[in-house]
Chains A and B, each alone.
Chain A
Amino acid sequence: MAKRAAPEVNAGSMADIAFLLLIFFLVTTTIEVDSGIVSKLPRKIDEDVIPPPIKEKNIFQVLVNKDNRLLVEEEPMELKDLTAAAVAFIDNGGGEGRKGCTYCEGEKDPKSSDNPEQAIISLVNDRQATYDYYITVTNELVRAYTVLRNRAATQRYGETFESMYTRYKEWPESEQEEPEYGELEKKINVIKDLYPRKLSEAEPQVAG
């Protein structure tokens, strides 16, 4: 037997194998969505508790019917006008004296909301409405609050509410002891109190 060196393994197909695996991972990867519109459900109330009376003028009624059409304050409306209408309603500040609103820039129409604290947006949707329309309407209403909060924050602190909030959320956990963090939190709460998000999603009516 002649002495022979062990033949080298051919590594030429290594690339092909790796490519195969790579393509497998590329195809199976699904990127998880990790963003969403945050909302809070109201607590369940007892049947026998009578809810406090709310003045009709402090409710901004938004109805969505089964054909995905909007009825706002008993008038049909295009979706693109919804945010502006909601802003006008929240920022109206029509109340008098103590009920008034010193920072509002609305029309002070006595027939519309007293102040942002009292102004409630009620969204009632038909069961047959589709979810994408529903989420768009919700988005537009949430945007109304964002617009107002941004305005208030810019006037007071020279920075939009959105950028303050992102900064707050992205604050590194190890540095939350710093005084700036608490200050930022306080500022955010001030703005939130000026324009609290009062978006009620009432139980829908079956008939539409």
Chain B
Amino acid sequence: MSKFNKKKSGELPPVSTASLPDIVFMLLFFFMVATVMRDDEMLVENSLPAANQVEKLEDKKKLVNIYIGKPSSSYQATFGTSDVVQLGDKISQIKDVYNYVNTQRNAMPENLQKEMMVSLKVDKNAKVGVLTDVKEELKEAEALKITYTSTQGDPMNNIKRR
């Protein structure tokens, strides 16, 4: 009889955790693949406003990014607290926009140069003044296709918090 008793004894066997690493690795690989690393390190504050008349932007290859905003806290000692322009990975003068755009355009493949689009990533709290100066520079550089990059959402939320 004891032969059969053996099976009945004991509680539920513990759930095997041997496959846990596999599950976690799967998640890990998903995130590693899905992550897009930022090209530029952000030196300025850059939280984008929301809008609902947005279009999907062009291919990343055709985009030139220009960031406008206050320098982030660790750079305020050097660059002050008023709005500045960040081109690539450094804070620059407004008059450098012209050269920057042209350099970026020349670096593009020939067939994309005409379709170049300037993506203006402007901080919510920035003043419009700097943006206007940048636009003047862009006109000068013949970079006329621009986009005010903004997240999808109700634009009224931008104003409510005041």
User: Which A residues are closer than 8 A to B by beta carbons?
Assistant: 11, 14-15, 18-19, 21-22, 25-26, 28-44, 64, 68, 79-80, 125-136, 138-140, 142-143, 146, 169, 201, 203-204
Nearest Cβ distance between residue A26 and chain B, in whole angstroms?
6
| Cβ–Cβ contact B35 & A25, under 8 A | yes
Are A136 and B139 in contact (CB-based, < 8 A)? Answer: no
**Interface members, chain B 1-56 (any A CB < 8 Å):** 17, 20-21, 24-25, 27-28, 31-32, 34-36, 38, 48-49, 51-56
Partner of B127, one of A26, A36, A130: A130
Select one of B121, B135, B143, B159 contacting A132, CB under 8 A.
B159
Query: Does A22 contact B49, Cβ atoms closer than 8 Å?
Result: no
A201 to B120, CA, bound (A): 15
List 12 interface pairs A-B (beta carbons < 8 Å), by A numbering: A11-B21, A25-B28, A35-B151, A40-B146, A41-B144, A128-B129, A131-B128, A132-B125, A136-B156, A140-B155, A201-B135, A204-B129
Does B86 lie at the interface of the complex (its beta carbon under 8 Å from any beta carbon of A)?
no
> What CA separation (Å) do A35 and B151 show in the bound complex?
6
Instruction: With both chains docked as a complex, state the minimum distance between the C-beta of A201 and any C-beta of chain B, in angstroms.
Output: 7
Contacting pair A18 B21 (CB below 8 A) = yes
Contact of B32 among A25, A39, A135 (CB under 8 A): A25
A sample of 15 more A-B contacts (CB under 8 A), given A25-B28, A140-B155, is A19-B24, A32-B38, A33-B121, A34-B56, A35-B56, A36-B119, A37-B147, A43-B144, A79-B156, A127-B127, A130-B127, A132-B49, A134-B128, A135-B158, A136-B159
List residues of chain A with CB within 8 A of the CB of B112.
Answer: none
CA distance A14 to B140 in the complex (A): 57
* Known contacts A25-B28, A142-B53, A203-B132; A130 and B144 CB within 8 A of each other: no
A35 engages B54 (CB within 8 Å):
yes
A33 touches B56 (CB 8 A): no
The answer, yes or no, to whether B95 is at the interface (CB within 8 Å) is: no
Smallest distance from the beta carbon of B123 to chain A beta carbons, Å?
Answer: 7
The answer to the question of B152 belonging to the interface, with a C-beta cut-off of 8 Å to chain A, is yes
Q: Which residue of B27, B123, B127, B150 contacts A22 across the interface (Cβ within 8 Å)?
A: B27
**Is A136 within 8 A of B49, CB to CB?**
yes
Contact (Cβ within 8 A) A169 B56:
yes
Name B106-130 residues within 8 Å CB distance of A. Answer: 117, 119-129
Residues of A within 8 A of B56 (CB): 34-35, 169
How many angstroms from the CA of A29 to the CA of B51 in the assembled complex? 23
Partner of B21, one of A14, A33, A43, A203: A14
Q: In the complex, are the beta carbons of B27 and A132 less than 8 A apart?
A: no
Q: Which residues of A have CB within 8 Å of B158? A: 132-133, 135-136
* In the complex, chain A residues whose CB is within 8 Å of the CB of B21: 11, 14-15, 18
